[in-house]
């Protein structure tokens, strides 16, 4: 800021001339004009610190007229915000350097406080008509409230989240480092809670981003209400929040706060006309056990949060060192996965699905396998979630359909009777625009009739946006393909929506089939799905059949078809082609063979 004011310059310039000269008189008039017209407030005091002159800018800023100010001391404006040491330092600078510049808080006549930028210049004593004239002090100042408000807005934007007003990542890091220093000094613990909302994307997709923003603001408010004033709640962006808990006695305190957050967020939040719930997954890292730096602590809390999601969401998980090993393995797997399609490392295996009434081959499910040169055969449950998370699943899903069509064409070229092939459509692939046209193009390219394909879509994928899902399924059905709901019973389908979907078949998830002999609930669910399917005119397939007793139960209750290791493991294309050529379409079970 420019701290040189015209009035000061004018006053000093007049000292050298002859008091009666034209130049001096001109200089004095110039000084008087500038003193009167300056937009800055100007105040002149004598050696006793008494005000001897003020300009109109002074009166306009302070509210005191010239008559009220002259004869008083500058303490007339004193705000009370500065201590004695502040003024002692100011006078020391004036004595030693003849000038002082800085920010001071003052009080107007009406009592209001304001910050001003003040410049004080000492005008040394001079001899006039044979006698010494004492020092004068010329003070020029201006109100800097607007500037400070702008600086505060900029500071707030730099350190706070615009939507929720919470500290952002930058301020969080600063507070976390300060909290860690305190914890180390006092030998206390602190906890970092990394919070990620479950299914927040569904709110944005179904209700719009405005509703999503309102939900985030409600979540921020509830998080603040769930912790103490000394704790920090921050938003990193999206639906990720962090809570720093200070002065903890042990891990139990962090558990209690996490439980309170789950309970608080679990209560309905009114967003527009909707009552929404905001379940969250929480990862917890403790200082100093889980990290002695802010970066390490945050990273480990983040890792624990992902572990919480992997264990079913809506829960909390403490960090454990093994998680970092799993995270590193996941990252390596992710990097390897990105080039796997180009390196031609995938292959389809086929598992027969048998008709339980006739014992003959009903259809076959195409199951992807990844043969990595470095890692060997990688199970689908290891790489499919990563492919879904990174978006590579879209390309992989298209490849599966294309390869299934090619294998079908190869079997047909051998003169074999080809079954209907089921391929899985991932949730992310299902949400991608243009799915129908891409599948149609792949069918035309291979020459395979649409009727030879079944598309398996998970129940949860359909229920993310059921109205849009119904439209898409009708488009796919119009091409002639069969529609199957996979893993039925593991999601939260609405029966009202279920009857709107153009479905051909429901598949009972293997988790119900595996325990149906020992778990009454699983038996009842299996029977309910069979009855529901038949009442809706749908076929029903049981997955994961491994025991004769399971098969007998399913046949007894008129399940239409089944697949599992009891009949056959998934086979590579050549082996499955031999299976087709052999005509061994019945199960190796003597019970089933008797009924065929």
- The residues, ordered by sequence, that sit 6+ positions from 515 with a Cβ below 8 Å of its Cβ are 522
How far apart, in Å, do the first and last CA atoms of the chain sit? 96
Check residue 589 and give its pLDDT: 45
Q: What's 488's DSSP letter?
A: E
Sheet of 232-237, strands arranged across:
232-237, 240-248, 189-197, 280-287, 316-318
Residue 433, CB half-sphere, CA atoms under 13 Å: how many?
0
Tokens at 138, concatenated:
């010329």
Q: Is 317 helix (H, G, I), strand (E, B) or coil?
A: strand
- The residues, ordered by sequence, that sit 6+ positions from 451 with a Cβ below 8 Å of its Cβ are 420, 480, 481, 482
Cβ atoms of residues 314 and 279 within 8 Å? yes
Sign of the CA dihedral 322, 323, 328, 333?
positive
The secondary structure of 168-181 as a DSSP string is -HHHHHHHHHHHHH
Tokens at 196, concatenated:
């990620």
Check residue 157 and give its pLDDT: 75
**Measured torsion, CA atoms of residues 429, 432, 434, 439, in degrees rounded to the nearest 10:** 0
Check residue 11 and give its pLDDT: 47
Check residue 28 and give its pLDDT: 64
Phi and psi torsions of 369, nearest 5°: -130, 145
Cβ atoms of residues 172 and 236 within 8 Å? yes
As a whole number of angstroms, the distance between CA 467 and CA 409 comes to 35
Cβ atoms of residues 40 and 175 within 8 Å? no
Check residue 584 and give its pLDDT: 62
Tokens at 271, concatenated:
């967003």
Q: Is the pTM of this model over 0.75?
A: no
Q: Are strands 361-372 and 420-425 parallel, antiparallel or unpaired?
A: parallel
As a whole number of angstroms, the distance between CA 384 and CA 365 comes to 16
Cβ atoms of residues 431 and 464 within 8 Å? yes
Residue spans of the domains in the chain: they are 6-150, 160-319, 331-595
Cα 278-283-288 angle, rounded to 5 deg: 145
| Run of H or E residues at 487 | strand 482-488
Q: Which residue has the tokens 């008129």?
A: 558
Tokens at 224, concatenated:
């603040």
The secondary structure of 187-209 as a DSSP string is T-EEEEEEEEETTHHHHHHHH-H
> Domain 331-595: what homologous superfamily?
EAL domain (3.20.20.450)
Nearest residue to 518 (alpha-carbon basis) of 550, 543, 484, 551: 550
Check residue 2 and give its pLDDT: 38
Q: From the CB of residue 158, how many other CB atoms can be counted at a distance below 10 Å?
A: 10
Q: Are strands 51-54 and 41-45 parallel, antiparallel or unpaired?
A: antiparallel
Q: Are strands 316-318 and 280-287 parallel, antiparallel or unpaired?
A: parallel
Nearest residue to 513 (alpha-carbon basis) of 539, 558, 551, 483: 551
Cβ atoms of residues 522 and 515 within 8 Å? yes
**Cα 360 to chain centroid, rounded:** 50
**pLDDT tens for each residue of the chain, 596 residues long:** 333 333 334 344 454 445 456 665 666 677 777 787 788 899 999 888 899 999 999 999 999 999 999 999 999 999 989 999 999 999 999 888 889 999 999 999 999 999 999 999 988 765 545 555 557 899 999 998 888 887 777 777 778 888 999 999 989 999 999 999 999 888 888 999 999 998 788 787 777 888 888 889 999 999 999 999 999 999 998 899 999 999 887 788 888 898 899 989 888 888 777 787 788 999 999 999 898 899 999 999 999 998 888 877 788 888 887 766 766 777 777 878 878 888 899 999 999 999 998 888 899 999 999 998 888 888 888 888 888 888 889 899 999 999 999 999 988 888 888 889 999 998 888 888 889 999 999 899 888 899 999 999 988 788 777 888 889 999 999 999 999 998 776 655 556 667 788 999 999 988 889 888 888 888 998 998 899 889 888 999 999 999 999 999 999 999 999 999 999 999 998 899 888 888 665 544 434 333 32
Tokens at 71, concatenated:
């004869």
As a whole number of angstroms, the distance between CA 227 and CA 225 comes to 6
Nearest residue to 566 (alpha-carbon basis) of 507, 514, 504: 514
Check residue 10 and give its pLDDT: 39
Cβ atoms of residues 238 and 257 within 8 Å? no
The domain 6-150: what is its CATH number? 3.30.450.20
As a whole number of angstroms, the distance between CA 443 and CA 448 comes to 5
370 beta partners: 346, 378
Cβ atoms of residues 288 and 192 within 8 Å? no
Tokens at 200, concatenated:
């927040």
Tokens at 73, concatenated:
């001391």
Measuring CA to CA, how many Å separate 436 from each of 393, 430, 442, 452? 16, 10, 10, 16
Cβ atoms of residues 119 and 3 within 8 Å? yes
**Cα 70 to chain centroid, rounded:** 62
Architecture of domain 160-319: 2-Layer Sandwich (3.30)
The reply to whether domains 6-150 and 331-595 share a CATH topology is: no
The secondary structure of 510-546 as a DSSP string is HHHHHTTTT-HHHHHHHHHHHHHHHHTT-EEEE----
Tell me the helices (H) and strands (E) count for the chain, helix number first. 24, 23
Measuring CA to CA, how many Å separate 259 from each of 265, 323, 471, 544? 10, 22, 40, 36
| Run of H or E residues at 210 | helix 209-226
Check residue 414 and give its pLDDT: 87
């Amino acid at each position: 800021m420019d701290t040189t004011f015209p009035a000061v310059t004018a006053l000093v310039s007049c000292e050298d001339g002859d008091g009666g000269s034209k130049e001096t008189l001109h200089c004095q008039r110039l000084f008087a004009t500038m003193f009167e017209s300056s937009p800055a407030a100007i105040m002149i005091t004598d050696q006793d610190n008494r005000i001897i002159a003020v300009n109109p800018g002074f009166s306009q800023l302070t509210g005191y007229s010239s008559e009220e100010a002259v004869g008083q001391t500058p303490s007339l404006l004193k705000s009370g915000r500065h201590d004695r040491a502040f003024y002692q330092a100011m006078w020391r600078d004036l004595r030693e350097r003849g000038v002082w510049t800085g920010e001071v808080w003052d009080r107007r006549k009406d009592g209001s406080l304001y910050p001003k930028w003040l410049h004080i210049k000492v005008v040394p004593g001079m001899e006039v008509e044979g006698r010494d004239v004492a020092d004068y002090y010329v003070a020029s100042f201006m109100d800097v409230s607007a500037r400070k408000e702008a600086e505060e807005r900029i500071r707030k934007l730099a350190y706070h989240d615009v939507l929720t007003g919470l500290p952002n990542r930058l301020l969080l890091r600063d507070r976390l480092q300060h909290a860690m220093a305190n914890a180390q000094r006092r030998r206390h613990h602190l906890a970092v809670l990394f919070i990620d909302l479950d299914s927040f994307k569904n709110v944005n997709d179904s209700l719009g981003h405005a509703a999503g923003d309102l939900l985030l603001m409600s979540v921020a408010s509830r998080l603040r209400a769930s912790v103490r004033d000394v704790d920090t709640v921050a938003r990193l962006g999206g639906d990720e929040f962090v809570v720093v808990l200070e002065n903890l006695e042990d891990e139990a305190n962090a558990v209690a706060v996490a439980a309170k957050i789950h309970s608080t967020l679990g209560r309905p939040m009114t967003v527009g006309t909707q009552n929404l719930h905001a379940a969250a997954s929480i990862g917890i890292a403790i200082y100093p056990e889980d990290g002695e730096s802010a970066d390490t602590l945050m990273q480990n809390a983040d890792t624990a949060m992902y572990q919480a999601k992997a264990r079913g969401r809506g829960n909390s998980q403490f960090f454990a060192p093994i998680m970092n090993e799993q995270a590193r393995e996941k990252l390596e797997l992710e990097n390897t996965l990105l080039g796997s399609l180009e390196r031609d490392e995938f292959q389809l295996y086929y598992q027969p699905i048998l008709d339980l009434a006739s014992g003959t081959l009903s259809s076959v499910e195409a199951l992807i396998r990844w043969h990595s040169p470095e890692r060997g055969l990688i199970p689908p449950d290891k790489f499919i979630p990563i492919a879904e998370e990174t978006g590579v699943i879209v390309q992989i899903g298209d490849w599966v359909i294309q390869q299934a069509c090619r294998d079908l064409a190869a079997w047909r070229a051998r003169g074999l009777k080809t079954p209907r092939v089921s391929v899985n459509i991932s949730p992310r692939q299902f949400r991608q625009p243009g799915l129908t046209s891409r599948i149609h193009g792949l069918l035309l390219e291979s020459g395979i009739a649409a009727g030879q394909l079944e598309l398996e879509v998970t129940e949860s994928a359909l229920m993310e946006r059921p109205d849009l899902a119904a439209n898409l399924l009708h488009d796919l059905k119009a091409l002639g393909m069969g529609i199957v709901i996979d893993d039925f019973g593991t999601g939260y389908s609405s029966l009202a929506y279920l009857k709107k979907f153009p479905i051909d078949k429901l598949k009972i998830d293997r988790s119900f089939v595996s325990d149906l002999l020992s778990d009454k609930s699983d038996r009842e669910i299996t029977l309910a799905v069979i009855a529901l399917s038949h009442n809706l005119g749908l076929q029903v397939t049981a997955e994961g059949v491994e025991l004769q007793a399971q098969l007998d139960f399913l046949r007894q209750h008129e399940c239409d078809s089944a697949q599992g290791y009891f009949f056959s493991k998934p086979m590579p294309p050549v082996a499955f082609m031999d299976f087709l050529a052999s005509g061994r379409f019945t199960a190796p079970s003597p019970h089933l063979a008797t009924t065929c």
